[in-house]
Amino acid sequence: MMGRLEIRDLHFSYTENEEILKGIDLVLDQQSTAIIGQNGAGKTTFVKLLKGLLQPTSGKIVYNGTDLSSMTVAQIAKHIGMVFQNPNDQIFKNSVIDEVMFGPMQVGMSKEEAKVHAMDALEMVGMEKKCKVNPYDLGLSERKLISIAAILAMDPEVIIFDEPTIAQDYAGKKCIGEIVEHLRNQGKLVLTIIHDMDFVAEHFDRAVVFAKGGVLLDGNPEKVFSRAEILEKAFLEQPNVTRLCHALGYEETFLTTDDFVEYKKGQ
Amino acid sequence: MKSISLYEEKNSTLNHLDSGCKMLYMVAAILVPALIGNKWANVAVIILSVFLLAISKVLRKTVPVLSVSGIVILTIVIIQGMFRAGNTTVVLQLGPAAFYKEGLLYSLGIALNVFNILLAICVLIFTTKPSDMVENFIEKGFSPRLGYVFISIFQIIPQMMETMNTITDAQRSRGMETEGSLLVRIKAFLPLISPVVMSSLVDTKERAIALEVRGFNAKTKKTFLNERKVTTTDKIINLLLIAAVLASVAWRVKLWLG
């Protein structure tokens, strides 16, 4: 099933006199979407609202026709998964497989079903051989992959990644990029909060720029990253290749090295 | 990060006063009325403390402190007022309940004492940064290690509370119920507490390394980043406070001898 989130005039504040989100209208579906913006722009608050961990002060989030506020956090978890920034915040079992099976069993899968899903998820992150290992014996970047698998195994229609590329080496980033694309091709709605613009340029269909609690820019990465002046106002950078080519005097916006190489070959 | 310290920077006169001064005030405010042994001395010091709290703009913060202890005091007043041995003069008759003058006066003494001590402590802790207080102690020869332990509580507990919140969110995001019946809560305990313990252990190790690379255990004499400035005003106040304590000691001795 397809996940579709409709956000209508969403407002949120922790304290009365400081509004964090000032009216957000968005429709999220199909396209894998990166939410970018300076620290404090309201990205994390926004995804917490999508998960039901916070309740909006006003406005609505509608998931496939159902108002999220009518669902409990546990019910939402079945449909919308979120991988937290720090894998240590969730890992507590003594073996990788138990850890990954925890979520699926919480959302009502049988043990056998959970095991099948868990093994599939571990395979997708390339950790299937380590399923009997104690997660605490693994390094941080592998633990991150475990925490991703733990959410994938729950088979949600929407998957949110909070800073997936932090503390990842090249191989880890590549793996996570492949996961993002694979999930998108499976028809899942992939969302991420991220500061790594190169990663957005390479793997995402859509970029939404948050600034001061509102949406500043929204569109495909070519469109968003071509607006250097607006990005600068939001204290964001273009991807490295885009900046380089811009500095070299090219009019076009190139997002990745591959784009540029292809363009040069075609000349 | 939410602070667990009761101190709040209000840029008030008492905020700028040296922490030693305020500690001395607390001691004097408790000692002087106790030595004089008169209810009016208590009342006078209470008024002084309230005045100091008011000019420091922290009077409102005493409300929870006073109301919690107020409940305890109220039970003392009721019990002593009705049942104290030696109660003879009835001052108030509420149906079958009679309140006696002797018991009420006795409990009034207790109440004044408690409120005086609480307010004196409030004057100190609402206007003084915990770290300033500890630095002051260390300067006077208190162990810096113990001092660190004391200060770090104010950092570690809020940090752990924050970690706890993130972990609860992370596990709820995996479909775990954390609210509801006792059984639900017991089942939620392990998935919540294990990551908290593990991350606290990791944090502790990192904190220890961070301290060690900055020479926490170095044997040389340490200097202070924040030089304490004891102004003339501080010195005068200190002298006045010491004089007040000495005078009340003298008064007590005179009473004994006379």
pLDDT for the residue B227? 77
pLDDT for the residue B144? 85
Domain ranges (residues) in chain B? 13-128+230-257, 136-213
Range of the domain at A153: 4-220
Say which CATH number the domain at A103 has. 3.40.50.300
| Contact at CB, B163 and A89, closer than 8 angstroms | yes
Q: Does the pLDDT of residue B186 top 80, yes or no?
A: yes
* Domain assignment present for A265: no
| Contact at CB, A78 and B177, closer than 8 angstroms | no
Mean pLDDT, residues B58-85 taken together: 90
* Residues from chain B contacting residue A89 (CB–CB below 8 Å): 163, 166-167, 169-170, 195, 199
Q: Does the pLDDT of residue B30 top 80, yes or no?
A: yes
pLDDT for the residue A1? 60
* Domain assignment present for A107: yes
3-state secondary structure of A6: strand
CB distance from B201 to chain A under 8 Å?
no
Q: What is the DSSP string of A86-97?
A: -GGGT--SSSHH
Distance (Å, rounded) from C-alpha B114 to C-alpha B254? 26
* Residues from chain B contacting residue A91 (CB–CB below 8 Å): 195, 198
CB distance from A15 to chain B under 8 Å?
no
User: Cβ–Cβ contacts within 10 Å for residue B224, how many?
Assistant: 9
Distance (Å, rounded) from C-alpha A232 to C-alpha A238? 9
* Residues from chain B contacting residue A77 (CB–CB below 8 Å): 172-175
* Domain assignment present for A40: yes
Strand partners of residue A215: A210
* Domain assignment present for A225: no
β-pairing, A158-162 vs A4-15, is unpaired
Q: Does the pLDDT of residue B53 top 90, yes or no?
A: yes
Strand partners of residue B100: B90
* Domain assignment present for A231: no
DSSP 8-state assignment for residue A137:
G
Cα distances (angstroms) measured from residue B233 to each of A162, B11, B24, B94:
54, 17, 14, 53
pLDDT for the residue B175? 87
What is the C-alpha end-to-end distance of chain A, expressed in Å?
A: 43
pLDDT for the residue A49? 94
At which residue do the structure tokens 């009342």 appear? Answer: B43
| Contact at CB, B173 and A89, closer than 8 angstroms | no
CB distance from A81 to chain B under 8 Å?
yes
* Domain assignment present for A160: yes
| Contact at CB, B173 and A88, closer than 8 angstroms | no
How many domains are contained in chain A? Answer: 1
* Domain assignment present for A129: yes
CB distance from B176 to chain A under 8 Å?
yes
Distance (Å, rounded) from C-alpha A59 to C-alpha A80? 19
**Chain-wide mean pLDDT for chain B?**
88
Q: Is the dihedral of CA B164, B167, B169, B175 positive or negative?
A: negative
pLDDT tens sequence across B130-183: 888 888 888 888 888 888 888 888 888 888 888 888 899 999 888 888 777 888
pLDDT tens sequence across B214-226: 988 888 888 888 7
pTM over 0.80: no
- The low-confidence residues of chain A, meaning pLDDT below 70, are 1
Helix spans in A166-218 (H): 170-185, 197-203
Where residue B203 falls among pLDDT bands split at 50, 70, 90?
confident
CB distance from A84 to chain B under 8 Å?
yes
CB distance from A140 to chain B under 8 Å?
no
pLDDT tens sequence across B223-256: 888 777 788 999 999 999 999 999 999 999 998 8
* Domain assignment present for A258: no
Mean pLDDT, residues B50-58 taken together: 92
